[in-house]
Structure 1
Amino acid sequence: MTLISPSHRHATDVSVAMISDELFSVLTPNETLGYVHTVGRVYVSLSGSDICHAVEVGQSLSWDRAVEIVRSA
């Protein structure tokens, strides 16, 4: 897993880590909030700490919006 970028936009900071070319985890310092899966030009937001049990909570054409969907789920 490779840390992509910490976010400093919100009071609750999240970081994004690259798991594979198409899968990213959205993290706080204490937990995994969920994942963003890239499918073509669409970013699919998944909520849950375990990728095998994560649930889709939204889709977006914007990377930032997809991360925000996970963060607010």
Structure 2
Amino acid sequence: MKRVAPCETASGGWQVERRGDRLYRVLSERGVEGYIERVGPVWVTLEGSRLDRCVEVGQSLTLERATSKLLRQAEKQS
């Protein structure tokens, strides 16, 4: 079930990896940036390398927007 979708950004390459029916892991060259979880019609963006310690940073109606939220959060910390 693991599928990977690469995406190039100004800060380098990222990958969105499907981990289950409702869970995606987002990776960069630095490692795991966070997770995106589908909860009903909403995509919840979670920042952090460990799923059990992630912090919610936003909610979106599409996977693309949820990924963008995580990217913006990572750029703020750089």
Same amino acid, percent of matched pairs = 36
Q: How much does 1:41 deviate?
A: 1.1
CA distance in 1, matches of 2:3, 2:72: 20
CA distance in 1, matches of 2:4, 2:40: 20
Q: How much does 1:26 deviate?
A: 0.5
TM score, norm. by length of structure 1: 0.89
Aligned positions, number: 72
Q: How much does 1:25 deviate?
A: 0.4
Coordinate RMSD, CA, aligned? 1.3
Larger proportion of helix: 2
TM score, norm. by length of structure 2: 0.84
Q: Gaps (5+ residues) in structure 1?
A: none
Q: Give the partner amino acid of 2:71.
A: R
User: What is aligned with 1:15?
Assistant: 15
Residue 26 of structure 1 contacts residue 71 of structure 1 at CA under 8 Å; is this kept in 2?
Answer: no
Q: Secondary structure at the match of 2:29?
A: coil
